[in-house]
Amino acid sequence: MVEQEGFRRYVAHVILWIGIAIVAFPVYIAIVASTQDNALIANGQMSLLPGGHFFEVYYQTIFIGTSGSTREPVGNMMLNSMIMALMIAVGKIAISIISAYAIVYFRFPFRMPIFWIIFITLMLPVEVRIYPTYKIVADLHMLDSYAGLALPLIASATATLLFRQFFMTVPDELLEASRIDGAGPLRFFWDTLLPLSRTNMAALFVILFILGWNQYLWPLLITTRDDMQTIQIGIRKMITTTDALTEWPVVMATAVLAMLPPVFVVVAMQKLFVRGLVETEK
Amino acid sequence: MANVTLRNVRKTYPGGFEAIKGVNVDVGDGQFCVLVGPSGCGKSTLLRMVAGLETITGGEIDIGGKIVNQVEPADRDIAMVFQNYALYPHMSVYNNMAYGLRNRGMAEAEITTRVEEAARVLELAPMLERKPRQLSGGQRQRVAMGRAIVRQPKVFLFDEPLSNLDAKLRIAMRVEIRKLQRRLNVTSIYVTHDQLEAMTLADILVVMNGGQVEQIGNPLDIYQRPATTFVASFIGAPPMNLMPLRSDELKSQIAGVDGAGIVGIRPEDFAISNETVAGGVALGLTIEAIEHVGAETFVYGTRQREEQGVAANPGDLPPGEVIVRVPGISRPVIGERIRAVAPRDKLHLFTADGRTRLGQ
């Protein structure tokens, strides 16, 4: 970009800072609110500066939960969410890389129809097929279980297509060289294709982990027991209280906590993520 | 150590397209066989059939006395060098060479010995720990060669291995491949579209066109006695001049042949002269373009109707382009008129369809 001289650059920076402020302010409010006394917030006298209740609010949130009827420690909810998100992300990657391998490298009967069936499921998100899926999960006695939370969400057309596109860019000569070097299909997959897909897998992991972490509708349907709640459901339940004050510091602390794992994943895997999206290492 | 014999090998694709139309080639033990032809002639397909990467739909391929039609590539005891090298991008140079040996369950000590020996021969020793992307084109080419060498196979297969290199490196590697092959004395089959590469490397040259073999033989024999007009124009640069002959002209060259024909004359067989050559060809040319190569100069001339003659008969050939080689010290000028003559024993005569060579 051409360097702009003094004044115009100044204006550009001001506009950018305004943008950042607009995005960051709600997050700031959440953090501030999570350190204050509930009575103060309820009176509408919330200060814009951090209060002094940081440790007690977070201790209560993580280990005890709200004082209302659905008291469930947020620590447990986070564990549930974490297990579900990891199962979804890892499961999706594993399933889709294997099915993409089959579709790209093997000639079997009904290969193209199968590919198109996978492709068509792109148009059927969870919301559309929620009743049959629920019925199946219920009949398999997987309600209120991690398997029930994660399994129905694991099949992924998007990830399969992404791996398929990547595999098609891998030169055929690599496969042929492997064949001459005495590597069978499994060895080629394990020794050559998987290492080459590393950055793609990392990029997908980031996207899929956040997708899994933010699931709301499915866990809402499938879990009834409080100890199987995910954090996204937990927040919602904390806000709608029937006859007590909403404990806003706890709600805000939960929101902040719910934000941390995705942020951590993005920051930790940012380098690989960007490389997976832009670079083709061949 | 093995002969490679192709017996009436055919390849028909499911759509009915016949890529290889019955090829017979016999490569002796330790010989260097080059398949050459224009793109799409089936030479790469044929090589891949020998490697086992394409199925054989007819005929037999025999490596070292064993028919390998149904044998997996890994079990054919061959090693292949690909055009784009096909190095494993995520493996170090060492592992690229060692991979095939490990898959065969060879002891690690033996692998190290072989890889280090190959690295020494190919001057790759300082870069064994590098990844392919950190190497130059020539170095990658060497790694691909090394991967083939460490296997100590019966047959080396090369699929246009030099076409991704720049001109200077290509010549250097060409010489190196030849030296290496001589030293290791391994039967080799090499595919190229570059006729110069083919001429310089081959013990046996196989000229292919349209899925068929046009001519097999020693490169110099093929150069001196091309069997068809295709071979005549494909082997040699610049190509042989081909001109139609009337039936009476052809008859004056070879008694007892009926019909029209084609005469071929290599650019270097012309002399600029005013003499009449008994039984030879004399052409009056107007110079249209000149290529100075240094030691020699190629003159592109247009034939003039009135001054030409075959067998000392002034003929009525249609005007066409003729390439003549003259020594580098002579200075032709564009637009100049010259007379090029070729003696009778330098004429290549073919039937009018170009498929059969006539005479000696």
* Amino acid identity at B123: E
Q: For residue A177, list chain B residues with Cβ-Cβ distance below 8 A.
A: 80, 82, 86-88, 147
How many angstroms away from the CA of A119 is the closest CA of chain B? 28
Distance between CA A72 and CA A77 in Å, rounded? Answer: 8
- The verdict on B300 touching A (C-beta cutoff 8 Å) is no
Q: What is the pLDDT of residues B89-118, one digit of tens each?
A: 999 999 999 999 999 999 999 999 999 999
Per-residue tokens: A175: 């496969």
Per-residue tokens: A75: 């620590």
User: What is the pLDDT, as a whole number, of residue B1?
Assistant: 65
- The verdict on B88 touching A (C-beta cutoff 8 Å) is yes
| Mean pLDDT computed over B158-177 | 89
pLDDT bin (cut points 50, 70, 90) of residue B312 is very low
Tell if the CB–CB gap between A179 and B104 is shorter than 8 Å.
Answer: no
Q: What's the distance, Cα to Cα, between the start and end of chain A in Å?
A: 29
- What are the beta bridge partners of residue B20? B11
- Separation in Å, CA B108 to CA A177, B99, B101, B103, B113: 21, 11, 9, 11, 9
What value of ipTM does the predicted structure carry? 0.82
Mean pLDDT, consecutive 10-residue segments, chain A of 282 residues?
Answer: 73 94 93 85 80 85 74 88 94 94 92 90 83 92 90 87 92 92 92 91 90 90 87 86 78 91 89 67 44
Regarding predicted confidence, which is higher, B332 or B254? B332
- Mutate which: A107, A180, A187, A192, vs B, most B CBs within 10 A: A180
Give the residue among A70, A67, A76 at the shortest CA–CA distance from A224: A70
Distance between CA A121 and CA A125 in Å, rounded? Answer: 7
Full DSSP string of B255-294 = TT--S-EEEEE-GGG-EE-SS--TTSEEEEEEEEEEEE-S
pLDDT bin (cut points 50, 70, 90) of residue B45 is very high
Distance between CA B292 and CA B274 in Å, rounded? Answer: 24
Contacts of B304 (CB under 8 A, 6+ apart): B284, B285, B286, B319, B337
**What's the mean pLDDT when you consider all of chain B?**
88
Residue B307's region, left for phi above 0, alpha for psi from -120 to 50, else beta, is alpha
3-state SS assignment for residue B214: strand
User: What is the pLDDT, as a whole number, of residue B306?
Assistant: 45
Locate the DSSP E strands across chain A. Answer: none
User: What is the pLDDT, as a whole number, of residue A278?
Assistant: 62
